[in-house]
């Protein structure tokens, strides 16, 4: 019914065109399956929940002109005035802008068992008593800071023993002390754990820091200070204009700069991943388009080269459907060979990425989906050329040389 014998003999006589389609199909499957997996992996990374109210947060930096270091009483005044503005949910200071992928970090170590200390790379974020509500975090246990907890040191963590306490994200507490262990009152780097909040990303989006955050009630006086403002939904744009004007009015002898929404910092932090997603998506579209056009062109060429053969088959009683079936079967057979080779290529490419780029193994579902997509692409690309070939009349074909 499908005339595999004549098809194979014809392909053997026209090996070059068949090999081109096989190579295109194999490359398409190898590239598309791995690219689609990388795109999905990066997209999941970008869309990870941060745990903070990023859509309604913006930050700004204060640079003092007369006094090189910020005065804490001025900071209290500034933040109180900001909180009084309509549309402001809360405001606090921070040692860096949330999701900016920069800040302070350190290895936090649980030394309860001196023989087996546990160290975790930690994002150190200093803030005040309003930091919890400003970021939109939820307390799991214990308490957050109050106004009397604020310490003053030349560095973010300072001397841990001088701090009134630290607050950990649940994920950091689990990593240091074990899953769901009650960590309240435990000692960590010379300080006492007073509270635990839900998992969150604050300063960093990098995988190593992602949810390992330690909050510290410490004010570091320097020549540049970051304010974080949380707004009611829909008020962000207006308050990004009003707050700098208010601060400039309170103290004209300073510069208010870098007024930016936190979503912009997040976008910048993920810029490399976003670029990769766009590049690979365009690559997949181009590869699929080139393969589809290549199959269309070669199938049209074969149809024109076999006009006489088609006419003879039509004169001997072959229907248009039989001619179309012949070309589609021929194309499916060629594409199937390319798909088999493409599976081998996919696995080889993935193995290279696993070894050199720390990617995980390519799931079987991506290979199966890509196989189906390439086979379908081959059939769709050959459909119009096959239909055009079936329209050749016996009389016209037999007159052609």
Paired residues of 94 in beta bridges? 226
Is the pTM of the predicted complex or chain greater than 0.85? no
* Average pLDDT of the segment spanning 222-247: 92
Q: Please report the pLDDT score of residue 275 as a whole number.
A: 94
Q: For residue range 46-68, what is the model confidence (pLDDT) as tens digits?
A: 988 999 999 999 999 998 776 65
Name the residue range of residue 161's domain.
67-252
- On whether both 89 and 36 belong to a single domain, the answer is no
Q: How many CB atoms lie within 10 A of CB 65?
A: 11
- On whether both 341 and 205 belong to a single domain, the answer is no
Q: Is the pLDDT at 343 greater than 80, yes or no? A: yes
- On whether both 195 and 336 belong to a single domain, the answer is no
Q: What is the three-class DSSP state of 295?
A: helix
- On whether both 129 and 34 belong to a single domain, the answer is no
Q: For residue range 15-32, what is the model confidence (pLDDT) as tens digits?
A: 677 788 888 899 999 999
- On whether both 226 and 355 belong to a single domain, the answer is no
Answer with the one of 221, 252, 283 that is the final residue of a domain.
252
Q: How far apart are CA 211 and CA 180, in angstroms?
A: 15
- On whether both 160 and 297 belong to a single domain, the answer is no
What lies within 8 Å, CB to CB, of 192 at 6+ separation is: 164, 165, 166, 185, 186
- On whether both 197 and 286 belong to a single domain, the answer is no
- On whether both 226 and 327 belong to a single domain, the answer is no
Answer with the one of 252, 285, 312 that is the final residue of a domain.
252
- On whether both 10 and 89 belong to a single domain, the answer is no
296 within domain boundaries: yes
- On whether both 91 and 232 belong to a single domain, the answer is yes
């Amino acid at each position: 019914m499908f005339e595999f014998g004549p098809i194979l003999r014809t392909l053997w006589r026209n090996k070059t065109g068949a090999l081109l389609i096989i190579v295109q199909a194999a490359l398409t499957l190898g590239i598309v399956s791995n690219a689609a997996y990388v795109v999905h992996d990066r997209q999941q990374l970008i869309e990870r929940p941060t745990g903070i109210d990023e859509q309604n947060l913006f930050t700004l930096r204060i640079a003092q002109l007369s006094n090189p270091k910020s005065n804490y009483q001025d900071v209290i005044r500034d933040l109180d005035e900001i909180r009084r503005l309509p549309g402001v949910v809360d405001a606090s200071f921070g040692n860096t802008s949330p999701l900016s992928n920069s800040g302070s970090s350190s290895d936090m170590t649980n030394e309860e068992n001196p023989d087996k200390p546990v160290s975790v790379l930690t994002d150190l974020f200093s803030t005040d008593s309003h930091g919890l509500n400003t970021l939109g975090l939820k307390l799991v246990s214990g308490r957050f800071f109050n106004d009397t907890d604020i310490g003053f040191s030349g560095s973010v963590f300072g001397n841990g023993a001088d701090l009134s306490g630290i607050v950990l994200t649940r994920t950091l507490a689990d990593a240091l002390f074990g899953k769901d262990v009650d960590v309240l009152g435990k000692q960590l780097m010379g300080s006492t754990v007073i509270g635990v909040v839900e998992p969150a990303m604050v300063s960093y989006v990098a995988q190593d820091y992602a949810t390992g955050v330690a909050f510290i009630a410490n004010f570091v006086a320097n020549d540049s200070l970051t304010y974080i403002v949380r707004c009611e939904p829909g008020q962000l744009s207006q308050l990004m204009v009003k707050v700098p004007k208010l601060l400039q009015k309170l103290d004209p002898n300073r510069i208010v700069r870098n007024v930016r929404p936190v979503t912009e910092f997040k976008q910048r932090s993920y810029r490399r991943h976003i670029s990769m997603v766009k590049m690979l998506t365009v690559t997949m579209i181009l590869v699929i388009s080139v393969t589809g056009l290549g199959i269309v062109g070669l199938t049209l060429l074969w149809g024109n080269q076999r006009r006489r053969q088609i006419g003879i088959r039509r004169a001997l009683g072959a229907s248009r459907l039989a001619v179309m079936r012949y070309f589609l079967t021929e194309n499916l057979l060629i594409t199937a060979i390319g798909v088999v080779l493409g599976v081998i290529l996919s696995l080889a490419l993935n193995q290279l990425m696993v070894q050199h780029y720390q990617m995980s193994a390519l799931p079987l579902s991506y290979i199966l989906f890509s196989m189906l997509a390439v086979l379908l692409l081959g059939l769709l690309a050959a459909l119009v050329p096959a239909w055009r070939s079936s329209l050749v009349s016996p009389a016209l074909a037999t007159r052609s040389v």
